[in-house]
């Protein structure tokens, strides 16, 4: 549509500079700034008006028509249509700008509400939890009001230190609601359930109950709703016990080398239990000795890309950070490396817990 005014101007120029100039082109030429005002805004209208003026001068000179009533009538018509088009285009543009500003204010308000709700639900983990020194980090992606559903928590219990990291499928307030449900179930179950698998089952059951309530979640979450989750337990023994439900594996930094703790049998996320009948009864154990570092994170970390499409190298970055840093310092350096890699453009929310075994 934007090229139509210029095609008309070209057609008028061809007619006026060929033997077909006996055709009266005044109405065609006045349509150029009028159409530009509708489709191209104030700048396009100005360009179209200047173009039609240049064509009128050129054709009047070429056809030796100066001094005729037709030429001056065409100039007057072009001037009136151009001014009217510019005024109308300015009014439309101003109205669009006001509408965009209103929508941006509404979007900013929704995002502030969502971020505030997220900050209430997620809280920094304690710096000391029994045999573990810990730190946490949560970063929101720059995606308008689409606040993500990353979750984390670390609690000291009579069974040891229990931690969870998860990611709700979906965005916005409904995802934060799912985060609150999962974390509420976790925070209660960790103190009463002997078995780590039962803690995970309590979280899954809470999400199923919430989805079953009419209107509990937005349609997006009802259709796509599931939660990847990883629960870790650090007992008195030099091991870490894990149950992984479709979540990225944690990284264990031991003697300067970062190794992913891959599950022996992949399991579906919470909410997709129907995909398997073989859910675990016992967690998987991995060596976790004093001096080791354990990083639990969401997929926003490993899926972060740079402008060339390369993923963020988390293990290599961990190995390059000095061993004498505290968990908050370690996470801050990891954060800065992530920001440098993505040039500050995070496509997804990020949540991390670092646990040092002492």
Residue 133's domain is classified under what CATH number?
A: 3.60.40.10
Residue 166: what pLDDT?
Answer: 94
Please list the pLDDT of the chain residue by residue as tens digits (358 residues).
667 766 776 776 667 676 766 666 666 677 777 777 777 778 777 877 787 777 777 776 767 667 666 776 777 777 787 787 778 778 878 888 888 888 888 777 766 766 666 666 788 899 999 999 999 998 876 544 445 678 999 999 999 999 999 998 877 667 778 888 999 999 999 999 999 999 999 999 998 887 755 555 444 443 346 899 999 999 999 999 999 999 999 999 999 999 999 998 888 898 887 766 666 668 999 999 999 999 999 998 999 999 898 999 999 999 999 999 999 999 999 999 999 999 888 878 889 999 999 8
- Do 209 and 88 lie in one domain? The reply is no
Do 89 and 141 reside in the same domain of the chain? no
Identify whether the C-beta of residue 117 lies closer than 8 Å to the C-beta of residue 173.
Answer: yes
Residues 237 and 321 in one domain: yes
**Closest C-alpha among 121, 117, 118, 151 to residue 136:** 151
- Tell me the CA distances in angstroms from 77 to 28, 61, 74, one per residue in order: 11, 18, 5
Residue 197 lies in a domain: yes
CB-side neighbour CA atoms (13 Å) of 116: 6
Identify any residues that bridge with 286 across adjacent strands, giving them in sequence order.
Answer: 240
Q: In whole angstroms, what is the distance from residue 67 CA to residue 32 CA?
A: 24
The neighbour count for residue 90, using CB atoms within 10 Å, is 14
Find, among 184, 223, 174, 191, the residue nearest to 205 by Cα: 184
Q: Which two tokens stand for residue 349?
A: 């929310």
Q: Tell whether 87 and 169 lie within a shared domain.
A: no
What is the CB-side half-sphere exposure of residue 43 using CA atoms within 13 A?
1
In a domain, 241, yes or no: yes
Q: DSSP class of residue 292?
A: -
The whole-angstrom separation of Cα 20 and Cα 166 is 74
Closest by CA to 240, choosing from 186, 319, 297, 294, is: 294
Residue 108 lies in a domain: no
Together in a domain, 95 and 126 = no
Q: Does one domain contain both 86 and 138?
A: no
Residue 28 domain-assigned (yes or no) = yes
Q: What does the CA dihedral 99, 100, 106, 112 come to, rounded to 10 degrees?
A: -160
Q: Indicate whether 226 belongs to any domain.
A: yes
**Can you tell me the distance from the alpha carbon of 243 to that of 178, in angstroms, rounded to the nearest whole number?**
20
Start-to-end CA span in the chain (Å): 69
pLDDT of residue 346: 80
d(CA 304, CA 320): 18
Per-residue confidence (pLDDT) for residue 277, from 0 to 100: 65
Whole-number Å distance between alpha carbons of 323 and 312: 20
- End position of a domain, from candidates 99, 132, 157: 99
Q: Say whether both 199 and 61 belong to one domain.
A: no
* Residues 300, 211 share a domain: yes
288 lies in which domain range? 122-357
In this prediction, residue 201 carries a pLDDT of 92
Which pairing describes strands 227-234 and 239-245: parallel, antiparallel, or unpaired? antiparallel
146 shares a domain with 204: yes
Cα(343)–Cα(336) distance, integer angstroms: 10
Quote the CA–CA distance of 68 and 57 in Å, as a whole number.
13
Let me know if residue 200 belongs to a domain. Answer: yes
Angle between helices 172-189 and 69-121 (to 10 degrees): 10
- Based on the domain organization, do 160 and 291 belong to the same domain? yes
Task: Compute the distance between CA of residue 245 and CA of residue 185 in angstroms, rounded to an integer.
Answer: 16
Do 66 and 206 sit in the same domain of this protein? Answer: no
Contacts of 312 (CB under 8 A, 6+ apart): 301, 302, 303, 304, 305, 306, 337, 338, 341, 342
Give ∠ CA 307-309-314 in degrees, rounded to 5.
100
Residue 63 and residue 142 in one domain? no
DSSP states of 184-224 as a string?
HHHHHHTTT-SSHHHHHHHHHHHHHHHHHSTTSS-HHHHHH
The total of structural domains in the chain comes to 2
**Strand order from edge to edge, sheet including 160-168:** 150-157, 160-168, 227-234, 239-245, 284-287
Contact residues for 243 (Cβ-Cβ < 8 A; gap 6+): 196, 197, 200, 230, 231, 267, 280, 283, 284
DSSP category for residue 275: G
């Amino acid at each position: 549509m934007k090229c139509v005014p210029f095609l008309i101007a070209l057609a008028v120029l061809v007619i006026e500079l060929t033997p077909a100039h006996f055709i009266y082109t005044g109405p065609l030429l006045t349509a150029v700034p009028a159409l530009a005002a509708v489709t191209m805004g104030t700048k396009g209208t100005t360009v179209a008006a200047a173009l039609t003026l240049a064509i009128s001068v050129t054709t009047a000179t070429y056809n030796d028509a100066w001094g005729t009533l037709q030429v001056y009538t065409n100039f007057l018509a072009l001037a009136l249509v151009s001014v009217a088009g510019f005024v109308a285009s300015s009014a439309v543009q101003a109205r669009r700008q006001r509408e965009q500003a209103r929508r941006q204010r509404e979007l900013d308000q929704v995002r502030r509400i969502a971020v505030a709700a997220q900050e209430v639900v997620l809280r920094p983990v304690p710096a000391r939890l029994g045999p573990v020194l810990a730190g946490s980090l949560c970063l929101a992606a720059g995606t308008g009001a689409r606040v993500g559903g990353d979750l984390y928590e670390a609690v000291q219990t009579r069974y040891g230190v229990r931690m969870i990291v998860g990611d709700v499928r979906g965005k916005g307030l409904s995802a934060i609601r799912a985060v609150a449900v999962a974390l509420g179930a976790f925070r209660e179950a960790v103190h009463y359930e002997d078995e780590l698998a039962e803690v995970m089952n309590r979280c899954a059951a809470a999400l199923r109950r919430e989805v079953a309530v009419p209107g509990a979640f937005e349609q997006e979450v009802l259709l796509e709703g599931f939660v990847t989750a990883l629960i870790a337990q650090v007992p008195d023994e030099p091991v870490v016990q894990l149950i992984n439900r479709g979540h990225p594996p944690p990284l264990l930094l031991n003697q300067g080398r970062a190794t992913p703790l891959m599950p022996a049998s992949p399991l579906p996320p919470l909410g997709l239990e129907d995909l398997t009948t073989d859910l675990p009864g016992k967690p998987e154990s991995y060596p976790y000795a004093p001096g080791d570092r354990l990083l639990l994170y969401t997929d926003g970390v490993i899926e972060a890309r740079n402008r060339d499409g390369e993923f963020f190298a988390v293990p290599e970055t961990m190995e390059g950070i000095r061993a004498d840093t505290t968990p908050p310092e370690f996470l801050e350096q990891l954060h800065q490396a992530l920001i440098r890699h993505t040039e500050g453009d995070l496509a997804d929310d990020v949540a991390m817990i670092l646990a040092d075994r002492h």
